[in-house]
Amino acid sequence: MEIDQLKKWRRELHSFPELGWTEFVTTSVLVRELKSMGYEPLLGESIINREFVRGRKIDLVQKAIKVAIDKGVDKELLNKMNELTGCVAIFDSGLPGPTVALRFDIDCVGVQETDNENHLPLINGFKSNTPNQMHACGHDGHMAIGLGIAKWLKQQPVNSLCGRVKLLFQPAEEGVRGAKPMEMSGIVDDCNYYLASHIGFIAKSGEIVVNPNSFLCTTKYDFRFKGLSSHPGKDPHVGINALAGCCNAATQLLAIPRHGKGMSRINVGVIRAGEARNVIPAYGELQVEVRGETEEINTFMCQQAERLVKGVALGFGLDLEIEVMGEAVDLTNDQEMVQLLSDVSKPYNLTIIESRPFGGSEDATILARRVQKINNGKAIYFVLGSDLKGTHHQSDFDFDESILPIGVNIYTNCLLKLISKK
């Protein structure tokens, strides 16, 4: 794959970063390119199950749609998206064979890109043109790799490939929000193989981690309590105190017991309750996350957390809203995929790192688990090393664009092994 095209894509996408669930311009760029290659990308509810959408604020969505219209995004396209971002391009060989899903995430993070004069995106004129939003995690690179693979697929000789490839451009990975509703659309339910990756992170240029481990299961919650305000001097007995509920819930959540079988975590990251000193607070909310080394442990944490807040709601007479804002599971790569990846990596002189702890959460795992469970499919998540400027999620983040063609090649060589006509 030619690096120039990959850089061009990456740089265009870098210049207009969008937060999770608002990637309307980003999606339109992907659709434009995919269409120019001959794909007819799937959009909206065919790839996103609205019922399972997590952590999406409708006012931000509508503002983003207006911005997209201002940017000249086609209204018909926006109609098809139906307020949901992301797209899926399907390559169908026309011949019987397995279905392979490849997944690329497309959202940015809420960081102000640096004005440091050594910052390559600034020098080369593709710095984010939106304040406080930046592709500071490398998802622009992921998308460029995805487009490169899409192009490569269309370039293969007729009848050289069999089966199908689904290129999933998934929204809202940050906050581990987008994979669940994509899973629940059923889009990977017919897939036999699944590959996803991240650039940088735990490996340098020239390295590839073929079997990262220690993916943390996690669930993100918002808990919202609604009570009744009253005057704390005159009517202290009338109020139904949402602040009291929030504070008791928070202290109880932080005391969820440890789990005997492994690592667990709980954080109450944000509490907001009450509006004025002299009013008994009628509303309060908690932003919470739990984690577990295994799905069993994470489920334990979720059950404890949900039961505790329900108890507080009952005890204080409050109405309670529980919203799951995001989730990711753990992942065990299938050994045959690890072997496959090691094999195809060798010709590229990459240092193959068998295993290294990922130590974070990634919602690519949710789609991987679906493929593994539903079809006894085989899944892998790997890390494509890249030298970095800054670190992920920081304003001076940048990765090494020279890895982009390597990424495309790794994927396409895997495809050659998986769906070459024999």
Among positions 275-314, residues that touch its own copies (CB under 8 A) are: 275-281, 284, 287-289, 291, 297, 300, 307-314
- 392 is annotated as contributing to ligand binding: no
Both structure tokens of 413 = 């060589």
Q: How far is CA 273 from the centre of its chain?
A: 30
Give 222 or 401: the residue with its C-beta nearer to its own copies: 222
- Of the pair 34, 280, the CB lying nearest its own copies is at 280
Task: Give min distance, CB of 198 to its own copies, in A.
Answer: 17
What is the C-alpha separation between 264 and 326, in angstroms, rounded?
17
Q: Which two tokens stand for residue 61?
A: 């969505």
What 3-state DSSP class applies to 348? helix
Q: Determine the Cα–Cα distance for residues 239 and 358; give it in Å rounded to an integer.
A: 47
Gap between the Cα atoms of 289 and 117, Å rounded: 37
Residue located via tokens 């909310």: 285
Q: d(Cα 130, Cα 12) in Å, to the nearest integer?
A: 13
- From the list 44, 178, 212, 239, which residue makes contact with its own copies (rule: CB under 8 A)? 239
Closer to its own copies by Cβ: residue 74 or 235:
235
In Å, what is the CA distance from 347 to each residue of 144, 341, 383, 421?
Answer: 22, 11, 17, 22
Q: Are 39 and 150 in contact (CB under 8 A)?
A: yes
Q: Does 187 bind its own copies (CB under 8 A)?
A: no
Min dist CB 60 to its own copies, Å, is 16
Q: What share of the chain is helix, strand, coil (3-state, %, to 5)?
A: 35, 25, 40
> Does residue 20 touch its own copies according to CB under 8 A?
no
237: annotated binding-site residue?
A: no
Q: How far apart, in whole angstroms, are the C-alpha atoms of residue 17 and residue 23?
A: 8
271 touches its own copies by CB under 8 A = yes
The reply to whether 337 sits near its own copies by the rule CB under 8 A is: no
137 annotated as belonging to a binding site for a ligand:
yes
2 is in an annotated binding site: no
Binding status of residue 259 toward its own copies by CB under 8 A = yes
Applying CB under 8 A, does 268 fall inside the site for its own copies? Answer: yes
Q: Which residue number, 125 or 233, has a Cβ lying nearer to its own copies?
A: 233
Interface contacts to its own copies, rule CB under 8 A: 175, 216, 220, 232-239, 241, 243-244, 246-248, 250-252, 254-255, 257-261, 263-281, 284, 287-289, 291, 297, 300, 307-317, 325, 359-361
